[in-house]
């Protein structure tokens, strides 16, 4: 069995992307396959696990299985944001989920840029109003071009992880909602921050900031950050 056949013999969340990117099927065929994410396989299973309060576990915790990480996963799977299943799930989150930090409404965001970047990516993809979070992120960009969740505690240097989270959110907002000169300029400045450091090296010495970033591990947080940044 060749790799493409193996990928096609899988879940709709993988299959539709293979059909789009590798076998180059017509757009209507790809869309039909993508629509199955809401009703079959992994996507349907995740949607079925949502509680009546709109949550999967907590809002941000436990990590990897919380509401935020589940919504991110559904976005990566390509759940159609206009589907009835997606609209219902996201409406439950909008109306019920509160951030652990201080009980803020989900799509109002909280205080840490890395978390707010995730909220912007999710909200923009699923058609929710997150312009207030976007404005906050733009105002919090550090002089070196990136962001850091420790800025509220005095940090003046950006982090790779926080910056990638914010850039993902800003890019999704540009694509799904609106682009503006200020937003685009901030995103490009953040991208330059990563490129100047070759994704994972210190600016002054060129040394790898954290050797764990070059190792495969579980959870695959660090290597995954580098791959996300390249993407």
Given a contact cutoff of 8 angstroms between Cβ atoms, the answer to whether 169 and 120 are in contact is yes
Give pLDDT tens digits for 10-67.
Answer: 999 999 999 999 999 999 999 999 999 999 999 999 999 999 999 999 999 998 899 9
Give Cα separations from 126 to 72, 94, 162, 188 (angstroms): 10, 11, 22, 24
Exposure b/e, 65-97, CB count within 10 A at least 16 = b: ebbbbbbbbbbebbbbbebebbeebbebbbebb
Element (H, E) at 185: helix 181-196
Cα 191 from Cα 20, distance rounded (Å): 27
Confidence of residue 223 (pLDDT cuts 50, 70, 90): low
Give pLDDT tens digits for 188-198.
Answer: 999 999 999 98
Residues above pLDDT 70, as percent of the chain: 94
Check whether the bond before 167 is cis (ω within 30° of 0): no
Q: Give the pTM.
A: 0.93
Tokens of 35: 């629509």
Confidence of residue 230 (pLDDT cuts 50, 70, 90): confident
- Name the residue ranges covered by the structural domains of the chain: 98-230
């Amino acid at each position: 069995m060749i790799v493409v056949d193996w990928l096609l013999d899988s879940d709709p969340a993988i299959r539709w992307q293979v059909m789009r990117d590798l076998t180059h099927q017509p757009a209507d065929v790809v869309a039909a396959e993508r629509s199955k994410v809401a009703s079959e396989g992994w996507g349907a299973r995740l949607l079925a696990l949502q509680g009546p309060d709109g949550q999967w576990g907590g809002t941000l915790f436990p990590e990897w299985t919380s509401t935020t990480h589940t919504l991110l996963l559904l976005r990566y799977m390509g759940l159609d944001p206009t589907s009835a299943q997606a609209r219902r799930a996201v409406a439950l989150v909008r109306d019920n989920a509160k951030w652990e930090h201080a009980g803020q409404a989900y799509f109002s965001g909280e205080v840490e840029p890395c978390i707010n970047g995730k909220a912007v990516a999710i909200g923009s993809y699923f058609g929710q109003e997150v312009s207030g979070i976007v404005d906050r992120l733009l105002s919090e960009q550090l002089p070196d071009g990136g962001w850091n969740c420790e800025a509220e505690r005095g940090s003046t240097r950006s982090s790779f992880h926080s910056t990638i989270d914010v850039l993902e959110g800003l890019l999704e907002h540009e694509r799904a909602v609106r682009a503006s000169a200020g937003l685009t300029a901030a995103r490009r400045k953040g991208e330059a921050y990563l490129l100047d450091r070759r994704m994972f090296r210190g600016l002054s010495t060129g040394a790898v900031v954290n050797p764990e970033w070059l190792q495969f591990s579980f959870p695959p947080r660090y290597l995954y950050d580098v791959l996300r940044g390249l993407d």
